[in-house]
Structure 1
């Protein structure tokens, strides 16, 4: 009788939830893959990252332009007034000059290295965008399972509240017939009040979790599909930390991006050093305008010919050689700055490499620990259920007091929450491990979606379906449960 009464604690809360569900119109539940797709289409952070990449990739054509021909055209309009004291003479002249200049860099080492640095920066930006897209996969899963975690926690706190309410009612009944004193009633009342406060906080956590889902996707959700207890809880494949670290060293997106950041810094250093090198350009120029404006005198002659009058055209083509000698120490200072920036980038890459190695090893251990923890937490529920029922029997016969019963109930529902936390930790740590290794993809979410339950009801599904049978077997002394 006591066993059925104890197991009914969770069932009672579930029944309340089912009754509410029956009186409420059914709602469409969203699955994990749909949430991720909505995040891809509507997430503001991802949209900002894409815009940042499109902006940063423009450094390549900007740097390339320094190696391509440059064509400029212009016009000058001048009005000149000349006065001479002796002999007294005044003259007003005006003229317009049109000109075009074409230059083609022939040797510009600094601009070539600038282009190389820009191309490395472009590759870095592309990888950083890919890392952001990959992180959205994990973020979608974290936000989705945060909702399920909060719902399961609410379900357990509702069941706990129902159990404490039952205990309070029993304490009042025993007090009324003289089987217990007022202290038992007050203890039971305190336990019930605490459980009720916890249930209120758990409800707010559910609302907050759904709000986070809305923030991620810009969509409102009222229900999501839950994860089945039949989800396989397996060790990583391969279960070798070194293999995961080696994969991370080659495929981690942020680490690859840091390699290109170092390449860009190296090319920038070469660009600064090339500031000491000479430059050579081919220049062609065309001018047409009034002879006065072009510097010819009305009385001047060219090669013994008649005086020049009217418009004059000039064409020139040649090479311009520039040899930097001294620029106030600017170039040397820029070289020193670029060298330190390269050193900084290399150190940041090494720091990131160490962090990736640490995270990969830690997450590999975490997944293996989660596998054992899930099983241990499930067993803890069974053991705490048996302990609670034994304590209730002791309370009925007078060998235990109400405080012992209340503590046993708290331990039971704490073990339930710990079990569900362990399940979700296992799922997310698996995804984090794959992200650290650089192998996380939408296919991992699709694999999880196979174990989603469309009719998941937290008020009854927060407990493993085989819990009751296992508890019965334990009470019988069967070690093979």
Structure 2
């Protein structure tokens, strides 16, 4: 084949291969990159705690139809059929007469009952409404607690992986310093102590690296359990985006007022208090009379011994009045019990309000002080980085020792570690603050997800030499 045709054929094959590679879908078995939005959607679909809460809410919603059914017409039908053996002994003209007769009897009855005055059932219906509100509030609370658990697990993984990267950078710096100390010692200008000091720091790095890898593996497993699907990598936090759009702490009084109105914990306890109040109303209502309208249609065949082989149809409509006069003291005991439960619900609400206020105050301080701490640590990192550079230059000029350089590197590592911890702790505190106030929603998660960068951490923790 001529050379130009061979080149043309190779070019065509290369173009075709590139086209096929671009058009073929990605391998289905490749785990996706994970960010907060994808993790949230996966957790919503797979978290067992949330699924249990959804089932509990579905069960709680049926309380109202069950209670309302007791106030609607009750229709029932019954049918009986019996085989009867009738024996009679009589005297006719002083002569004993014994007779026996076998026959079948049947009864069919249709009953319609409409409650008219039922104070207990009306209180039960109001109580069921409160129970539905509580079930819905508990579902919202569980959903928001899932957001807290997810964000904390995600940031825990980011912090662990970032710690690995910091230790790796520190290890490289200590390795370089150890090489420099050995060269100086070999040239006769250094001392053995410098080599030992650098080697000791490297040994400490190895121990810290082992702990960091364990923390990363544990954090990855925790996040894996929440999302219940494999992932290859996680999106990192972009410090510059966080600097441009920090979380808003706001005023504490505003968060307290928002929590009083929207907190699912408070809503659930207020609904529980209302349910306890209606339980007391139910107990008291047992002293009151009830009135039902009753309609009945009855068809009988040989329904008694006086009407054998006789068919009868009977229809009736009327009112049924009931009034409990004495029940052994059960009603009074039920009232006392319901009153005690109501008191307990009131006290639990008061305690929860105080506890929620304290937790809001703690998380609010975590955000406000965290933002200040981030700014201070950013300055500390910059100063520590400058100190590290200056120490290295002074060491090269003979004005500093290896220990000075190692201490400067250690200070820089500690400042970077503290800065990373402060960033994640502040963001997690802001999420918890929103959750406590009942203000966390999908938009809140989207704003948090916008702080992540396109870069990702590796699927496995990087090895540390």
Deviation at 1:93, TM superposition (A): 3.6
CA distance in 1: counterparts of 2:300 and 2:258, whole angstroms: 69
> Match for residue 271 of structure 1?
282
> Match for residue 208 of structure 2?
198
Q: Secondary structure at the match of 1:73?
A: strand
CA distance in 2: counterparts of 1:418 and 1:321, whole angstroms: 76
Judge conservation of contact 1:95–1:290 (CA < 8 Å) in 2.
yes
> Match for residue 337 of structure 1?
337
CA distance in 1: counterparts of 2:406 and 2:189, whole angstroms: 18
Judge conservation of contact 1:284–1:316 (CA < 8 Å) in 2.
yes
Q: Which moved more, 1:393-402 or 1:263-272?
A: 393-402
TM-score normalised by length of structure 1: 0.80
Asked whether 1:248 is paired with 2:252, we answer no
Structure 1 alignment gaps of length 5 or more: 1-25, 299-307, 459-481
> Match for residue 469 of structure 1?
none
Alignment of 1:168-207 (within 5 A): 168-179=178-189, 182-207=192-217
CA distance in 1: counterparts of 2:365 and 2:438, whole angstroms: 17
Q: Which moved more, 1:183-192 or 1:347-356?
A: 183-192
CA distance in 1: counterparts of 2:184 and 2:246, whole angstroms: 51
CA-to-aligned-CA distance 1:175-214 (integer Å, 9 cap, x gap): 4445555554444333212211222322232333332222
Judge conservation of contact 1:137–1:441 (CA < 8 Å) in 2.
no
CA distance in 2: counterparts of 1:309 and 1:232, whole angstroms: 93
CA distance in 1: counterparts of 2:175 and 2:246, whole angstroms: 41
Judge conservation of contact 2:377–2:419 (CA < 8 Å) in 1.
yes
CA distance in 2: counterparts of 1:169 and 1:77, whole angstroms: 105
CA distance in 2: counterparts of 1:424 and 1:30, whole angstroms: 17
CA-to-aligned-CA distance 1:140-191 (integer Å, 9 cap, x gap): 3323222222221111011122222223333433444455555544443332
> Match for residue 416 of structure 2?
416
> Match for residue 66 of structure 1?
70
> Match for residue 454 of structure 1?
454
Deviation at 1:101, TM superposition (A): 1.6
> Match for residue 315 of structure 2?
315
Q: Using a 3 Å threshold, how does the CA distance of structure 1 residues 153 and 76 change in structure 2: closer, same or farther?
A: same
Asked whether 1:54 is paired with 2:58, we answer yes
CA distance in 1: counterparts of 2:154 and 2:67, whole angstroms: 44
Q: Secondary structure at the match of 2:161?
A: helix
Asked whether 1:297 is paired with 2:301, we answer no
Judge conservation of contact 1:81–1:92 (CA < 8 Å) in 2.
yes
CA distance in 2: counterparts of 1:220 and 1:456, whole angstroms: 15
> Match for residue 374 of structure 2?
374
CA-to-aligned-CA distance 1:414-464 (integer Å, 9 cap, x gap): 211110111111222222222222221211222233332213568xxxxxx
Q: Using a 3 Å threshold, how does the CA distance of structure 1 residues 195 and 238 change in structure 2: closer, same or farther?
A: closer
Asked whether 1:75 is paired with 2:86, we answer no
CA distance in 2: counterparts of 1:212 and 1:238, whole angstroms: 28
TM-score normalised by length of structure 2: 0.82
Q: Secondary structure at the match of 2:75?
A: strand
Judge conservation of contact 2:81–2:107 (CA < 8 Å) in 1.
yes
> Match for residue 126 of structure 1?
136
> Match for residue 349 of structure 2?
349
Judge conservation of contact 1:259–1:349 (CA < 8 Å) in 2.
yes
> Match for residue 166 of structure 1?
176
Judge conservation of contact 1:210–1:221 (CA < 8 Å) in 2.
no
CA-to-aligned-CA distance 1:329-380 (integer Å, 9 cap, x gap): 2222222222122112222211221122112222222111011100111222
> Match for residue 270 of structure 2?
259
> Match for residue 222 of structure 1?
232
Q: Using a 3 Å threshold, how does the CA distance of structure 1 residues 178 and 103 change in structure 2: closer, same or farther?
A: same
CA distance in 2: counterparts of 1:80 and 1:326, whole angstroms: 40
Deviation at 1:117, TM superposition (A): 0.5
Deviation at 1:133, TM superposition (A): 2.5
Q: Which moved more, 1:342-351 or 1:55-64?
A: 342-351
CA-to-aligned-CA distance 1:204-254 (integer Å, 9 cap, x gap): 323333322222222211112212121345776573221221222122222
CA distance in 1: counterparts of 2:300 and 2:31, whole angstroms: 81
Deviation at 1:89, TM superposition (A): 4.2
Q: Secondary structure at the match of 1:68?
A: coil
> Match for residue 39 of structure 1?
43
From 131, 135, 138, the equivalent of 2:145 is 135
Q: Which moved more, 1:373-382 or 1:231-240?
A: 231-240
CA distance in 1: counterparts of 2:221 and 2:247, whole angstroms: 32
CA distance in 2: counterparts of 1:37 and 1:198, whole angstroms: 34
CA distance in 2: counterparts of 1:193 and 1:85, whole angstroms: 113
Q: Using a 3 Å threshold, how does the CA distance of structure 1 residues 237 and 144 change in structure 2: closer, same or farther?
A: closer
